[in-house]
Amino acid sequence: MQKNEEQVERTIGVMLRGGVISAAAVVFAGGVWYLTRFGMLVPNYQTFRGEPPDLRSVAGVWQGVLGLQPRSVIQFGLLLLIATPIARVAFSAIAFAVQRDAVYAALSLVVLTVLIFSLLG
């Protein structure tokens, strides 16, 4: 049983590192792309403008990525960063269920539910 736990821990570590590195790479690439296209524009700080509506939903961000919009690529990288710990909790719930550890599987599912509701609400 010890070997399975170590394998799960290694897999979670790889998943977290991969998610953070992927998110950082996507945000960096989107930032460089954005600055090469719009870096010479002078910002207007007198009027606050929030994010446009298409960058406030996953579907809008995805459409922007497919439309090759650099701001959408940056937002997609941030979505990857948010999805990383959620994927970790989901993986943990599955791993605990496979190991037949009902208490930790249930706790992981509760945490996953709270995470999902906090993102949707």
Domain count within the chain: 1
Structure tokens at 55: 């960058």
Q: Is residue 16 part of a domain?
A: yes
State the residue range of the domain holding 77.
Answer: 2-39+49-120
Share of the chain above pLDDT 90, in %: 58
Averaged pLDDT, 41-68: 86
Grade residue 121 by pLDDT with cuts at 50, 70 and 90: low
Q: Is residue 7 part of a domain?
A: yes
Averaged pLDDT, 27-50: 88
Using the CB atoms, write b or e for 82-119: b if 16+ within 10 Å: ebbeebbbbbbbebbeeeeeeeebeebbebbeeeeeee
| Amino acid identity at 117 | F
Structure tokens at 5: 């736990």
Q: Is residue 29 part of a domain?
A: yes
Grade residue 1 by pLDDT with cuts at 50, 70 and 90: low
Q: Which DSSP symbol is given to 46? A: S
Q: Is residue 44 part of a domain?
A: no
Those residues with Cβ within 8 angstroms of residue 24's Cβ, 6 or more apart along the chain or in another chain: 77, 81
Q: Supply the Cα-derived Rg of the chain in whole angstroms.
A: 19
Instruction: Select the more confidently predicted residue: 101 or 21.
Output: 21
Tell me which residue of 22, 7, 23 sits closest to 91, measured CA to CA.
Answer: 7
Q: Could you report the per-residue pLDDT of 58-106, keeping only the tens digit for each?
A: 889 999 999 999 999 999 999 999 999 999 999 999 999 988 889 999 9
Could you tell me the pTM of the whole model?
0.82
